[in-house]
Amino acid sequence: MITLQQYWRGRDKTHGHLLTPELRANAQRTVDVANELLPLAQAGGVMLTPGQWGMVRSGWRPPDINAGTKGASATSLHMQCLALDAEDPYGLLAAWCFANWRTVLKDLGLWMEHPTATPTWCHVQLRAQGSFAKTGLRYFYP
Ligand SMILES: [Zn+2]
């Protein structure tokens, strides 16, 4: 289970003045849907690595944190608490999500970054972005 605490990664303390009710609600939705996704992946054969797999690598990124994050998009949904990076050291979760984007991701209302862009984590988000919004695909290249 991913917790809100893990999603904040202490930033609710360091950047609490930026946390609006909307951001808090978004974060709860993101954590809730991640907690639906992870058991499905496990049931689908993705092996759990305790302490690593499924843990939050990146949750909320306040603008200054996002700006200092290597490779982060300037419009990243991490800033709106609508994205989550799960630890995925062997790419198994991302591969499974990608193999099931037409069903699982669609059912859960998720989009993901293509696994080739996320070798040791899995990025999922609750909204489509940019030109990919019109494609109907549930994955995109950052
Ligand atoms: Zn991400």
- How far does residue 10's CA lie from ligand 1's centre (Å)? 17
- How far does residue 142's CA lie from ligand 1's centre (Å)? 9
Query: 47-100: per-residue pLDDT in tens?
Result: 866 666 678 999 999 999 999 999 899 999 999 999 999 999 889 999 999 999
Q: Tell me what pLDDT residue 135 has.
A: 87
- Whether residue 110 has pLDDT greater than 90: yes
Sorting pLDDT into bands at 50, 70 and 90, what band is 132? confident
Q: Tell me what pLDDT residue 1 has.
A: 84
- How far does residue 4's CA lie from ligand 1's centre (Å)? 16
Rounded mean pLDDT, 127-142: 86
Q: Quick one: DSSP state of residue 48? A: P
- How far does residue 78's CA lie from ligand 1's centre (Å)? 6
- How far does residue 43's CA lie from ligand 1's centre (Å)? 23
54 and 37 Cβ atoms separated by less than 8 Å:
no
Residues 6+ apart with CB under 8 A from 136: none
Residues 6+ apart with CB under 8 A from 33: 108, 109, 110, 124, 126
- How far does residue 84's CA lie from ligand 1's centre (Å)? 5
The C-alpha angle 104, 101, 139, rounded to 5 degrees, equals: 135
The reported pTM is 0.94
- How far does residue 124's CA lie from ligand 1's centre (Å)? 7
Query: 12-58: per-residue pLDDT in tens?
Result: 999 999 999 999 999 999 999 999 999 999 999 998 666 666 789 99
- How far does residue 44's CA lie from ligand 1's centre (Å)? 23
- Whether residue 139 has pLDDT greater than 70: yes
